[in-house]
Amino acid sequence: MEFTVTAAGLITPIRKVLLGVFMAESTDNKSFLPARDLLNGVRDTCDRLHIASLKRRIDICAALLEENPPIDVAILGQFKAGKSSFINSLLGKPILPTGVVPVTTVITRLQYGPGERAAVTHFDGSRVEIPLEKLADFTSEAGNSGNIKNVEVVDVDIPAMADYPGLRLVDTPGMGSVFKIHMKIAQDWLPEVGAAIVAVSSDRPLSDNDLELIRELTRHTPNIILLLTKVDLLLPDQRTEVVQFLEKTLEKELGKRFPVFCFSTRVDTEQYNRRIEMEILLKLSTNRDIEFRNILRHKVRSLASVCINYLEIALKSALQADRERDEIRRRILDERLSLTAIQEDLMLITRENSRQTRTFIMQHLGRLEQPLREKLTEDLRGELPRWKGNLWRLTRRYEEWLTENITAALESISRTENRYFLGTLKKSRAAFDRALFSFRALLGQNIETVLGLKLAEADWRIEVAEPSHPDVGFIRVFDFHFDLLWFLIPMFLFRKLFEKHFLALIPRAAEMNLSRLGAQWESRINVTIEEMRKQAAGYVKDEIATIEALLEGSSGRTEEIQELIAGLQERLADLSNEGGKK
């Protein structure tokens, strides 16, 4: 998108005009009619021809029209690209937690409010307000490791956002992780992005993941900006070279130029912030209604183009005789694209990886067993001299101590080491992604060969919901209670013997409880793998159902399909003409 630098002297008047009086334009007015009309046309077409695969994108566009929310300016990028630090710098205070390791675990949205407040929404729908200083307890890896607190989203109201009415800054977890923890991301959150600032670190500029993210974003928003962070690591000549590399690479790979802004929290921060504020945020804010309409038009236009692509497949089929149509269907949906065969392949991926889960987990837990034994033994040696009483009292105290300490140790392992348990989860996701890519590539190849049409790109991503953390419990390791005979046993003679016995029980307790922890994580990970299989199977089933409906349901409907294509193209033209008048 093109940005025009606003005169610096206008900042104060703009703030005075907008502060506290912002109200979003109603989507019922006539400026939204072309987008609403086109969306209704797409929805009607999909209903009539049973195009199931577009339902999700239709729902997202409909929600935007219905809710007219603030424009979400999402700060996206890989782990440790400096996203949270960038937002803190814009706001002028350390609102979001930062650190030397990946920090952000959940989506955090920041918008204007007259006072500082934060509200945490959980996956079960419950909502609780928290002090702003407690934000890290819910949004950071240290305070909420792996989102163990089941936080869906955190909304922050802050007076500093008064400069940007109608906007909502969105801090996101790093995109390089296997997990997209926040529910919105798990439900295709990217299509809801209004504007995207993609943070790319100077120490690893433009990875393949960055390119794929930007490519995907182009289908959902016209407003994409690259933010080159940590530019203090580069000399001025190097900085210019990296910016030119980004611009040329993106133009070569994606066929268009994207604005590139530099940023550093160490040098010239105020200068960088001022440019970003003037050329991005204030422009979006002062022209919020126009920008929102442009974003909505972009999403609906992209959706309509995919719908027309499906209609062209149906039209080609409709123009054929019944016998030829059967042959077309056979050639497009050949035996390699059999739903049953694909489901069997997906089941095979699930079984093979699920069988390896326990082994993968225990390989890591096995390395932790000896340190756990040694730690428990050392701690018990220090505790035993403090314990007094007969054998019964000594035994009860030992049971309490062992339960408490093993439980604490296993909870710590579960919380801090779980990322090492996820090997089969990552392998499964990669395998499912490959299976979906192969299916769609083959389907597209068959359609192009048979009908001479290119199949539109699909928004298919296997989303991974992080496995829930298991409850950790202590397994008793006593086969017989010696303490029942306490009145027969003089402790001044046998105490050392029983202390030695208690110490000897620790290895077995550590082994048994680590094995139990492994079994619990195995169960949860394999459930998640099965959920991924269902996602992949659902994508394939919907796509095959859509193609079959288009091929089989097109008989005798040539004129109807032609009218539908013409109607959508006319509405697309109306939408484009309306956009040109702004």
Query: How far is C-alpha 180 from the chain's CA centre?
Result: 3
Domain tally for the chain?
A: 2
- Residue 347 above 90 pLDDT? yes
The domain that contains 243 carries what CATH number? 3.40.50.300
* Domain boundary residue, one of 286, 318, 343: 286
pLDDT for the residue numbered 509: 85
In a domain, 2, yes or no: no
Rounded Cα distance between 240 and 231, Å, is 10
- Residue 102 above 70 pLDDT? no
Query: How far is C-alpha 120 from the chain's CA centre?
Result: 18
In a domain, 435, yes or no: yes
Residues 203 and 349 in one domain: no
Residues 426 and 517 in one domain: yes
Which of 91, 48, 143 has its CA nearest to residue 276? 91
pLDDT for the residue numbered 7: 32
In a domain, 300, yes or no: no
In a domain, 572, yes or no: no
Beta bridge partners of 71: 167
pLDDT for the residue numbered 13: 36
- Residue 234 above 50 pLDDT? yes
At 170, which helix (H) or strand (E)? strand 167-171
| Side chain identity at residue 505, one-letter code | L
- Report whether 27 contacts 66 (CB < 8 A): yes
Residues 91 and 211 in one domain: yes
**Structure pTM?**
0.65
Residues 234 and 91 in one domain: yes
Tell me the torsion sign for CA atoms 205, 210, 215, 220. Answer: negative
Residues 126 and 225 in one domain: yes
pLDDT for the residue numbered 21: 41
Rounded Cα distance between 200 and 229, Å, is 6
Residues 263 and 354 in one domain: no
Residues 275 and 339 in one domain: no
Domain carrying residue 237: 8-25+68-286
pLDDT for the residue numbered 242: 92
Vertex 415: Cα angle to 409 and 420 (nearest 5) = 105
Please, which pLDDT band fits residue 186 given cuts at 50, 70 and 90? very low
Percent of the chain, pLDDT > 70? 82
Query: How far is C-alpha 40 from the chain's CA centre?
Result: 29
Residues 512 and 363 in one domain: yes
pLDDT in tens, 518-569: 888 898 889 888 988 998 898 889 888 888 888 877 777 888 899 999 999 9
pLDDT for the residue numbered 103: 57
Q: What average pLDDT is seen over the chain?
A: 80
pLDDT for the residue numbered 80: 66
* Domain boundary residue, one of 286, 302, 326: 286
Tell me the torsion sign for CA atoms 272, 275, 279, 280. Answer: positive
pLDDT for the residue numbered 305: 92
Per-residue exposure over 370-385, b if at least 16 CB sit within 10 Å of its own CB, e if not: eebbeebeeebeeebe
Rounded Cα distance between 150 and 183, Å, is 10
pLDDT in tens, 436-466: 888 888 888 888 888 888 887 776 666 655 5
In a domain, 209, yes or no: yes
pLDDT for the residue numbered 466: 54
In a domain, 97, yes or no: yes
- Residue 477 above 80 pLDDT? no
Please, which pLDDT band fits residue 261 given cuts at 50, 70 and 90? very high
- Residue 479 above 70 pLDDT? no
pLDDT in tens, 1-57: 333 333 333 334 344 334 434 455 565 667 788 999 999 999 999 999 888 888 888
**445: which residues sit within 8 A by CB, 6+ positions away?**
none
Residues 350 and 279 in one domain: no
What is the three-class DSSP state of 151? strand
In a domain, 539, yes or no: yes
Residues 258 and 351 in one domain: no
In a domain, 77, yes or no: yes
Residues 401 and 282 in one domain: no
Residues 367 and 223 in one domain: no
Q: How does strand 195-201 pair with strand 71-77?
A: parallel
pLDDT in tens, 145-174: 767 777 878 999 999 998 888 899 988 776
Beta bridge partners of 111: 157
